[in-house]
Amino acid sequence: MAEIKVDSRGSACPGPITDLMKAYRNSKNGDIIEIMATDPGIKADAQAWAKKTQNEIISMEDRDGYIVVKIAVKNKK
Amino acid sequence: MEKGGLAIVLFSSTADKLIPVGVLSQASANMGIPVKIFVTGWATTLFRKNADKNVMSVPKEYEPMAPMLMEGLKKMNAPSWFEMLKSSKEYGEIGVYVCSLMAGALGIKNKDDLDPIVDDIIGAAAFLEMCSGYQTLFI
């Protein structure tokens, strides 16, 4: 049960989801991935990614100039 | 697209068409969607061995807008179309195939004449067969 922080701020679409995917590959079920991004596409893209890969979005938060998305890793085989 | 994938017929060789190919390949790799790219037409020369991948040209009618777009992408540190395609191949299911007709027309004899990113030289029928059930884009 690790918390994996990914800083994807400054990276343009589809960079943040690529960073998320890379973190996901090294994760285990029960881990939480927290990704920070400035690309506004992250919200819809993270939702689509979670739906497709059957993992769960815990929260999405707007902070000062960036967005934080927390994902619970559930579907690692 | 649950069981299918994305078939891209890559015909054009201008930056405005190549960037979406890079973005869609990378996004598909992220989503676990397979992509097969059929390189044909004007795009073929870009996949020759040691070809310059730094494409800045756009079609004539978009030329006035091009500098604005290119500067914007540079400011965002957006990777080039080829970097996106290459990185998507590292972790995604991405196949790149060169059209055998175009290869013949350009004197490309085998894979040794092509960029290492290319999986094979194949005909249109083989491409259609391997993409059965995929959504197709002609770019």
Round the average pLDDT of chain B to a whole number and report it.
94
Find out whether the peptide bond into A14 is cis, omega within 30 degrees of 0.
yes
Contact A17, B27 (CB under 8 A): yes
Catalytic residues of A: 13
Percentage, residues of chain A above pLDDT 70? 100
Tens of pLDDT, residue by residue over A8-48, are: 999 988 999 999 999 999 999 999 999 999 999 999 999 99
Could you tell me the CA-to-CA distances from A10 to A7, B27, B86, B100, B113 in Å, in that order?
A: 9, 17, 21, 41, 37
Name the strand (E) or helix (H) holding A48.
helix A42-53
Q: Are B91 and B25 in contact (CB under 8 A)?
A: no
- The DSSP letter of residue B79 is P
What does pLDDT average to over chain A?
Answer: 95
Domain count, chain B: 1
What CA–CA distance (Å, rounded) separates B52 from B107? 18
Handedness of CA B29, B30, B34, B35 (dihedral sign): negative
pLDDT digits (tens, 9 = 90+) for B100-123: 999 999 999 999 999 999 999 999
Q: What domains can you pick out in chain A, each with its CATH number?
A: 3-72 (3.30.110.40)
Asked whether the predicted pLDDT for residue B12 surpasses 60, the reply is: yes
DSSP state of B48: B
CATH assignment of the domain containing B125: 3.40.1260.10
Other CB atoms within a 10 A radius of the CB of residue A10 amount to 14
Whether B31 sits inside 8 A of A48 (CB atoms) is yes
- Look up the domain containing B108 and give its range: 6-138
Could you tell me which residues are beta bridge partners of residue B35?
A: B6, B94
The reported pLDDT for the residue numbered B2 is: 53
By the CB < 8 Å criterion, does A38 face chain B?
A: no
Question: In angstroms, how far is CA B7 from the centroid of its own chain?
Answer: 11
Virtual torsion, Cα B24, B28, B46, A12, nearest 10 deg: 50
Q: State pLDDT tens for residues B14-71.
A: 999 999 999 999 999 999 999 999 999 999 999 999 999 999 899 999 999 999 999 9
| Residue B89 counted as domain residue | yes
* Joined tokens for residue B58: 């756009």
Which ipTM did the prediction report?
Answer: 0.82
The pLDDT, as a whole number, for residue A30 is: 96
Instruction: Label residue A1 by pLDDT band (50, 70, 90).
Output: confident
Distance from CA of A54 to the nearest CA of B (A): 11
Residue B1 in any domain: the answer is no
pLDDT band at A77 (very low <50, low <70, confident <90, very high): confident
- CA dihedral angle for residue A45, residue B138, residue B61, residue A40, rounded to 10 degrees: 0
Q: What average pLDDT does the segment A3-7 reach?
A: 97
Q: Which residues of A touch B84 (CB under 8 A)?
A: 14
